[in-house]
């Protein structure tokens, strides 16, 4: 009896040692995750990534010199996205997050084909979450003109559920209002109410807020639509997909450390810092300037 217990005890201890050794000796990837957007909206995605993966390092690039992307032709946005992604790849990132709905709509397949590292966009996670959330299979979309016109959300929603209907609404006034001095002013609520009206009439029970700026005024959307409508944001869903991708690819960093973050902009660093802290809800610290010409070269 004693011998058997002793044998089991030793085996149990050996197994625990093996598990511990596997955990502490697992391969880690110290390279940062690259994140980019046309401006500061993607910082809402970065915020969720920082709290979901506090052990990872991030480098964020905002293309302030060429914003907004929303009104631009898709081909031009695709070129911009390719330049930025190439620049981040040259910074030796291990994964690229396209934290811009317009750039994701315009360029995600091309970036995934061109880059050697994984590329995650903000549209697929949202489309999947919306299809999972809807009860009546009537889904609304509020986004920039380019994102709505690209039709990428409709393609993904129908691929996931051929019987689901997507009702798109371009909201060109929202981004300037959200970036303004008073994002919660009555004018913002009036604009949201105006854009939401056709979706409410269509009877949607789920709305994709397809712009990374929109989480900043989440209470306004919820007030206009009410609790009966599920709101889907890119930030939370995208951060979840990034974490899952890093784990699946085996390129996570060590969870025993606290990660860092770094900021780059093609625009004015001081202006980026001032507005960016509102979106990130954390201090930005130093912001580095990158010339557009450097992106083109990369």
Residues with catalytic function: 100, 211
In whole angstroms, give the CA distance from residue 252 to residue 54. 11
Strands (E), 50-176: 58-62, 95-98, 119-121, 138-143, 165-170
In whole angstroms, give the CA distance from residue 83 to residue 280. 24
CA of residue 202 relative to chain centroid, distance: 28
- Looking up tokens 């951060």, which residue turns up? 239
In whole angstroms, give the CA distance from residue 82 to residue 86. 6
- Looking up tokens 């396209």, which residue turns up? 98
In whole angstroms, give the CA distance from residue 225 to residue 88. 38
């Amino acid at each position: 009896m004693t011998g058997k217990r002793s044998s089991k005890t030793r085996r149990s201890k050996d197994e625990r040692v093996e598990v511990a050794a596997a955990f502490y000796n697992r391969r880690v990837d110290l390279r940062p995750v690259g994140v980019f957007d046309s401006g500061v909206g993607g910082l809402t995605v970065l915020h969720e990534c920082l709290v979901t993966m506090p052990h990872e390092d991030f480098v964020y690039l905002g293309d302030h010199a060429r914003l907004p992307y929303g009104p631009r032709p898709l081909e031009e946005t695709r070129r911009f996205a390719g330049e930025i992604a190439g620049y981040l790849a040259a910074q030796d990132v291990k994964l690229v997050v396209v934290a811009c709905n317009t750039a994701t709509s315009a360029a995600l397949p091309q970036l995934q084909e061109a880059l050697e590292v994984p590329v995650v966009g903000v549209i697929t996670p949202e489309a999947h979450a919306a299809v999972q959330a809807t009860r009546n299979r009537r889904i609304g979309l509020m986004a920039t003109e380019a994102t709505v016109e690209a039709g990428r959300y409709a393609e993904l929603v129908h691929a996931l559920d051929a019987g689901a209907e997507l009702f798109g609404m371009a909201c060109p006034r929202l981004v300037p209002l959200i970036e303004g001095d008073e994002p919660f002013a009555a004018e913002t609520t009036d604009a949201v109410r105006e854009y939401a009206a056709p979706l409410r009439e269509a009877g949607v029970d789920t709305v994709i807020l397809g712009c990374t700026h929109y989480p900043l005024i989440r209470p306004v959307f919820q007030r206009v639509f009410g609790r009966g409508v599920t709101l889907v944001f890119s930030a939370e869903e995208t951060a979840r997909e990034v974490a899952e991708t890093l784990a699946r690819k085996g390129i996570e960093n060590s969870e025993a450390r606290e990660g860092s973050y770094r900021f780059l902009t093609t625009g004015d660093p001081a202006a980026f810092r001032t507005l960016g802290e509102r979106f990130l809800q954390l201090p930005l610290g130093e912001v580095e300037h990158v010339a557009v010409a450097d992106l083109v070269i990369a």
